[in-house]
Amino acid sequence: MRLVVDLNRCQGYAQCAFLAPDVFAMHGEESLLYNPLAEEERHEEVARAVAACPVQAILVEADPSAEAPRTRPGGDR
């Protein structure tokens, strides 16, 4: 599966890193690292992380061949 975290939206609450530690990790207090091409078997924990993110910053695409929107920290504004 393909993941995109909107880092403009992410507030570093770390819910995702807590619920899906194989996919998301906090680096320091506020910056988030994640695997944008997480394995399909991580689907359930990723779904929990998506549901738990207080700002809905995590987007998931099931089809790895689909085009993902690109987001960069501080990119849009």
Q: Which residues are near ligand SF4 by CB under 6 A?
A: 5, 10-16, 24, 32, 53, 55, 57-58
Q: Tell me whether residue 15 or residue 38 sits nearer to ligand SF4 (CB atom).
A: 15
Between residues 29 and 65, which has the closer beta carbon with respect to ligand SF4?
Answer: 29
Rounded least distance, CB 34 to ligand SF4, Å:
8
| C-beta closer to ligand SF4: residue 13 or 39 | 13
Kindly give, in sequence order, each residue whose CB lies less than 8 Å from that of residue 52, ignoring residues fewer than 6 positions away: 15, 16, 19
